[in-house]
């Protein structure tokens, strides 16, 4: 596993960062710390409300949070000590690329099924979708968001924010910068806030009345 020795400003940033507060591990996973034994459907939905919308999508959300946990762990350990563990940071960046693609599709699917969720949740999803789209376009399509213009190919996949032990994941030519921890934290906030009262209908009901080909 490769490690990069740090000198000068980067080394100083690591020392300052060791005392900095970082985004905690995802809160969403805390709901699964207690094992349900022979649970009733009501208990399952209480713990995992998105099952009432789609069992499949709820499972994909759990996968995304497993990725998020691993990304944060690799950032914490990759930027610790007196040197950067390049292998861990690269692993975090690779997982973040996949995470962004999956997170955008999950949020897009939920956002377009507006009748299935509360107005409060749709509003939160709308803001989250906008942020994810801003990051996804340069990463997945190599285009600037909202315009037919290329993102430069002569760039690294992400920028390193050593002091914050973070990755900068949006187009490096655009501002404000968007960090991996920031996006993960906002995704966690939105999904951790979901209760069974936010889920009004099953996924298939969003297509009720649609014309079949």
DSSP structure string for 18-37: TTS--PPSPSGGGGGSSPPS
Contact present, 95 and 74 (Cβ < 8 Å): yes
9 cis-preceded (ω within 30 degrees of 0): no
Range of the domain at 186: 18-201
In a domain, 208, yes or no: no
| Confidence (pTM) | 0.81
pLDDT band for 154, please (50, 70, 90 cuts). Answer: low
In a domain, 5, yes or no: no
Calpha distance 147→144 (Å, rounded):
6
In a domain, 182, yes or no: yes
pLDDT tens digits, residue range 42-99?
888 888 999 999 999 999 999 999 999 999 999 999 998 778 898 999 999 999 999 9
In a domain, 142, yes or no: yes
Half-sphere exposure of 180 (CA within 13 A, CB side): 35
**What is the Rg, in whole angstroms, of the alpha carbon atoms belonging to the chain?**
19
Question: Greater confidence, 110 or 30?
Answer: 110
Average pLDDT, the chain: 82
In a domain, 120, yes or no: yes
In a domain, 140, yes or no: yes
pLDDT recorded at residue 12? 44
Q: Is the confidence at residue 15, as pLDDT, over 80?
A: no
In a domain, 3, yes or no: no
In a domain, 8, yes or no: no
The total number of structural domains that make up the chain: 1
Q: Is the confidence at residue 10, as pLDDT, over 90?
A: no
Question: Greater confidence, 124 or 155?
Answer: 124
């Amino acid at each position: 596993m490769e490690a990069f020795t740090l000198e000068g400003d980067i080394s100083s940033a690591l020392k300052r960062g060791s005392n900095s507060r970082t985004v905690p591990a995802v809160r969403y996973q805390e709901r699964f710390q207690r094992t349900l034994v022979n649970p009733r459907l009501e208990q399952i939905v209480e713990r995992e409300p998105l099952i009432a919308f789609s069992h499949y999508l709820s499972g994909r959300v759990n996968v995304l949070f497993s990725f998020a946990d691993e990304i944060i762990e690799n950032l914490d350990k990759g930027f610790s000590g007196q040197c950067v563990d390049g292998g861990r940071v690269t692993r975090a960046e690779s997982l973040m690329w996949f995470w962004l693609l999956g997170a955008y599709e999950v949020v897009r699917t939920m956002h377009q099924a507006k009748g299935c969720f509360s107005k409060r949740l749709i509003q939160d999803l709308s803001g989250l979708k906008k942020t994810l789209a801003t990051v996804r376009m340069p990463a997945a399509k190599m285009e600037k968001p909202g315009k037919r213009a290329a993102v430069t190919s002569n760039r690294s996949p992400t920028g390193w924010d050593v002091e914050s032990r973070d990755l900068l994941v949006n187009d490096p030519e655009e501002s404000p910068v968007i960090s991996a921890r920031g996006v993960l934290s906002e995704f966690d906030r939105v999904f951790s806030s979901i209760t069974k009262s936010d889920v009004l209908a099953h996924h298939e009901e969003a297509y009720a009345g649609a014309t079949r080909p």
